[in-house]
Amino acid sequence: MQYSESKHDVFQAIADPTRRRLLQLLSEKEMSIASITKCFSISRTAINKHLKVLSDAGLVTSKRIGRETRYRLKPEPLTELKQWLSIFDKYWTSKLLDLKEYIESNDEKL
């Protein structure tokens, strides 16, 4: 697995709940900083700092349109996260099979 060589990696970037919410918002549409700020109860400066971390991790891109900066999700780095999480799929599968067997065995007793 190749890790990002940026200042912040994907795992650091998504560790914060505000940044995860930012990613959710940007997954729906491209947004200006003014539009983003309206969705949070923190300052524009704080939003900018979070966007910087996401940008450093390669999760967000920005472009200037006149006087406005618009932000957009760049989901490709999330592949690294998905690959890492897939290691744990085997645990979910076995636990779900155990649950299925438990439920089926208890249905017979009723």
Each residue of 57-109: pLDDT tens digit?
A: 999 999 999 999 999 999 999 988 888 888 888 777 777 788 888 888 876 66
> Distance between CA atoms of 47 and 44, rounded to whole angstroms?
5
Question: Counting beta carbons within 10 angstroms of the beta carbon of residue 74, is it exposed (0 to 12), middle (13 to 18) or buried (19 or more)?
Answer: middle
Nearest to 34 by CA among 57, 76, 65, 74: 65
pTM score? 0.73
pLDDT 10s digits, 7-47: 678 989 999 999 999 999 999 999 999 999 999 999 999 99
Q: Greater confidence, 50 or 1?
A: 50
CATH assignment, 10-109 = 1.10.10.10
